[in-house]
Amino acid sequence: MSDSSVRKFIIGRGTWCVLSLLAACLLWMSCAPRLCAQENPAASGGAAAAADPSALPSDNSLTTMFPHEEWDRLWLSGQANFISQWHPEFHSPYQGKNSLTPEAQDATSRVLTLYTGWRATNTTEFLCDVQETGGHGLSEALGAAGFFNLDVVRNPLLSKAPYVARLMWHQVIALSGKKVLAERGPYSLFRELPERRLEVRFGKFSMVDFFDLNSYGTDSSLQFMNWAVDNNGAYDYAADTRG
């Protein structure tokens, strides 16, 4: 087996740690009993919700691999994203050190994310996401302005160790007493919110988690992978290495 073949199958120690943590979390979610009672209008005897259960938001709308318990105050989920790409040999009469190399090559990137959250009260919650990124892009993500893999880290010397991708405090300030139903997700655990409100987020997160979202190119796991169609296409130069 050649050195290049061996390299493709080597997985760093940090990657194994994150994979093991994700597997343990998935196993825990599939086996653990409910930690907290569900707090929703149907469970508390709300007449409108009981009459129309479909009006309630459901966490089941998210893509999941295993059946799991739903916890009202806690959120624990994981995501693993691998993108493998290849191109054949092509003619390139002009090239430099930052060009797309003309030799046939393949490359695989990976992004592993662990989403966690705790809703302390009906207006306060804390969210923390741990992430690990690695692998390689074709030509180390050089040679194309609109690169064809959103998940590639463009600095090959960047550490592959897991890091805190998001750490935020989310505070809701009610401006009215009327409540509306809300759908839970990794960035908000509330099942209902005041109809008129102010929301304050403080901590570490990406602006494109909430603003200027592109309906067709925001999530490389389910949508287009090209860098040029990610949100408005200009964040590559305004952001740091990991966005």
CA distance 20 to 16: 6
Break the chain into its structural domains and give their ranges.
3-43+65-86+100-238
26 sits in which H/E element: helix 13-31
Closest CA to 85 of 109, 107, 100, 103: 107
pLDDT, tens digit, 9 for 90 and up, residues 182-233: 988 899 999 999 999 999 999 998 877 887 777 777 777 777 888 777 776 6
Cβ partners under 8 Å of residue 62, min gap 6: 77, 185
pTM beyond cutoff 0.75: no
| pLDDT in 10s for each residue of the chain, 243 residues | 444 433 333 344 444 444 555 555 544 444 443 433 334 433 333 333 333 434 444 444 556 666 666 678 899 999 898 989 999 999 988 888 888 889 999 999 888 999 999 999 999 999 999 999 888 888 888 888 778 888 887 776 777 889 999 999 999 999 999 999 998 889 999 999 999 999 999 999 887 788 777 777 777 777 788 877 777 666 555 555 665
Closest CA to 143 of 218, 216, 77, 92: 92
